[in-house]
Amino acid sequence: MTLVGWSQTLLFFALVLALTKPVGAWLFRVLETDARPLPRVLGPVERGLLRLCGVSREQEQTWGQYTASLLAFSLFSVLGVYALQRLQHLLPFNPQGLPAVGPELAFNTAASFTSNTNWQSYAGESTMSYATQMLGMTWQNFTSAAAGLGVALALARGLTRRPGPEGRKTLGNFWGDLVRATLYVLLPLSLVAALFFVSQGVIQNLAPYHGVTTLEGAKQTLAFGPVASQEAIKMLGTNGGGFFNANSAHPFENPTPLTNLVQLLLIFLLPAGLTYTYGRMTGDTRQGWALFAAMSLLFFVGAGASYAAESQANPALAAAVAQDGNLEGKETRFGVAASSLFATVTTDASCGAVNSMHDSFTALGGLVPLVNMHLGEVIFGGVGAGLYGILMMAVLAVFIAGLMVGRTPEFLGKKIEAREMKLAMLYVLIFPLVILGLSAVSAVIPQGTSSLNNAGPHGLSEILYAFTSGVANNGSAFAGLNANTPFWNVSLGVSMLAGRFLMMVPVLALAGSLVGKKVVAAGPGTFPTQGVLFTGLLVSVILIVGALTFFPALSLGPIVEHFLGAAGKVY
């Protein structure tokens, strides 16, 4: 580890901290008030889109109606992206004449992009046409991020709204949240980011692929396409799917250290800002900063552990070559520090974009991305998903605090009772049940193990990472696993849908249960949720629920691989 390496992490976090308040204030303005910008220009567009959805600006929904709208839209999205892939050979903007995508892979990809996972069992430049990339993948990058943001706002409204004289129990409107998040947040920021990427050398065109002759005289095909536009929203929306198979390690997607830094900032930009938005919604911004502090503490622990692990030489190569850290699978233009930071950030925020090969990390270096996801993607997390995930953990934290003092738990003045705890525990249990259940089955049947490139604990880590990435809606991979088989495409597709929607339903149900509750005045036994004590308790709950649940599986994978590697045994 070096001072220069640590300075990259500190600079990145300083920029995130500086942008959190202005971005959060902007999100609050455009999503929770009527003081939206450019009312004469964007106002008619917003109203027209809402009329297209069949709703008015004032129409609100109960949690059941909000959930039904979300699921209906998502089902339509899955079917639309699936059809687009199956018919791409008949559609325009396919200069390479790429064939239709097979049914299992098309299902996997449709589930992946609709669920904001963006797992890719294919190489984008040799599988998807420009039309599929633009109309399917890029479109879903916008709408899946907007849907997640809407669910986070719905839960925050359930916690912060006071019941009116008519007993209001509504959480906003899914279609309104979807339109406003896209129109006022995702589109303008993506436009600015895309123009910046083009200025730095990221390509943006509809040209056919070019054949070139290398210096050695070999023939090579250079893939082109509308990359910058997809790159911007892939990072901003914490989606992660790359236009090219090499993702953000490809020089056409991420050409310079400056674009690498901006991509990292885009990943954390909205999740960090949402903590301040939540604070504004509660009427006490310290509530939001307490969540931000918990996320930041976990981020620094992960970033430090990853950098320390990757700064060590690979034991399998120690006797053969001199090493300045583990450079296997890393781009030399980024090096160990930036690659370790990228791996930490992308798995903290359920983004899944990668600028290095996670499968080539050391055993402990690969453990960090796994643990980041096992904590529930609450270390800033995805757009919206990070906020509602950590708020569910906060509900557990105040329940535990209530048990300690012997009184009914309260959160923002609303009592947390049996129904709320059942929903919170349902949310918590779905995550490990799906990951560990599918991992266990896949590790013992031929359809699962036949795709492994590595045996022993590293092979188990590849299986565990794949399902963790799918259920956590992250999308990154160890990549030593050949996931483009019927078994893996279907099982991972199901895991991604389960990780997204089976967990969103309890969140919205909890919001519906809380929104109509009366607010009780704070008393001597009320546990404050805006201070250091709450932040510490919240971090402890996240670690206990996440890390300890998966510790046995991790012990059989990366942890035992580390000790075997130190003894000279590699896989």
Number of other CB atoms surrounding residue 22 within 10 Å? 11
Three-class secondary structure of residue 517 per DSSP: coil
**What does the pLDDT read at residue 164?**
62
Which band of pLDDT confidence, cut at 50, 70 and 90, is reported for residue 144?
A: very high
**What does the pLDDT read at residue 286?**
94
Lowest pLDDT segment from 2-6, 113-117, 521-525: 521-525
Q: Which two tokens stand for residue 552?
A: 């046995």
Lowest pLDDT segment from 10-19, 366-375, 444-453: 444-453
Q: Is the dihedral of CA 341, 28, 157, 115 positive or negative?
A: negative
Q: Is the dihedral of CA 523, 524, 525, 530 positive or negative?
A: positive
The distance from CA 183 to its chain's CA centroid, rounded to whole angstroms, is 21
Number of other CB atoms surrounding residue 557 within 10 Å? 26
Q: Distance (Å, rounded) from C-alpha 42 to C-alpha 39? A: 5
**What does the pLDDT read at residue 456?**
87
Q: Is the pLDDT of residue 168 over 70?
A: no
Buried b (16+ CB within 10 A) or exposed e, 262-275: bbbbbbbbbbbbbb
Extract the runs of DSSP E, i.e. beta strands, from 24-85.
none
**What does the pLDDT read at residue 322?**
61
Q: Distance (Å, rounded) from C-alpha 561 to C-alpha 445? A: 22
- Where helices occur in 318-476 by DSSP H, the ranges are 335-348, 363-374, 385-405, 418-442, 446-449, 456-471
Which residues share a beta bridge with 222? 210
Q: What is the mean pLDDT of residues 201-213?
A: 91
Lowest pLDDT segment from 24-28, 33-37, 231-235: 33-37
For residue range 237-279, list pLDDT tens digits in order: 999 888 888 899 999 999 999 999 999 999 999 999 999 999 9
Q: Distance (Å, rounded) from C-alpha 381 to C-alpha 372? A: 10
Q: Is the pLDDT of residue 200 over 80?
A: yes
For residue range 482-500, list pLDDT tens digits in order: 889 999 999 999 999 999 9
- Closest listed residue to residue 314, CA positions, set 322, 331, 326: 326
Which band of pLDDT confidence, cut at 50, 70 and 90, is reported for residue 56?
A: confident
CA angle 119/125/127 to nearest 5° reads: 70
**What does the pLDDT read at residue 70?**
95
Q: Distance (Å, rounded) from C-alpha 445 to C-alpha 87? A: 33
Q: Distance (Å, rounded) from C-alpha 412 to C-alpha 179? A: 29
Q: Distance (Å, rounded) from C-alpha 383 to C-alpha 153? A: 11
**What does the pLDDT read at residue 526?**
77
Which residues share a beta bridge with 204? 226
**What does the pLDDT read at residue 404?**
79
Which residues share a beta bridge with 452? 481
Domain positions in the chain are 387-567
For residue range 368-399, list pLDDT tens digits in order: 999 999 998 899 999 999 999 999 999 999 99
Which band of pLDDT confidence, cut at 50, 70 and 90, is reported for residue 436?
A: very high
Q: Distance (Å, rounded) from C-alpha 540 to C-alpha 534? A: 10
Three-class secondary structure of residue 534 per DSSP: helix
Give Cβ neighbours of residue 38 (< 8 Å, ≥ 6 apart): none
Global pTM reads 0.93
**What does the pLDDT read at residue 3?**
85
Output the average pLDDT for the chain: 90
Q: Distance (Å, rounded) from C-alpha 136 to C-alpha 472? A: 21
Q: Is the dihedral of CA 187, 245, 463, 358 positive or negative?
A: negative
Q: What is the mean pLDDT of residues 446-466?
A: 89
Q: Distance (Å, rounded) from C-alpha 525 to C-alpha 175? A: 40
Q: Which two tokens stand for residue 180?
A: 């406003």
Kindly list the distances between the CA atom of residue 103 and the CA atoms of 60, 83, 466, in Å, as whole numbers in the listed order.
38, 10, 20
**What does the pLDDT read at residue 323?**
66
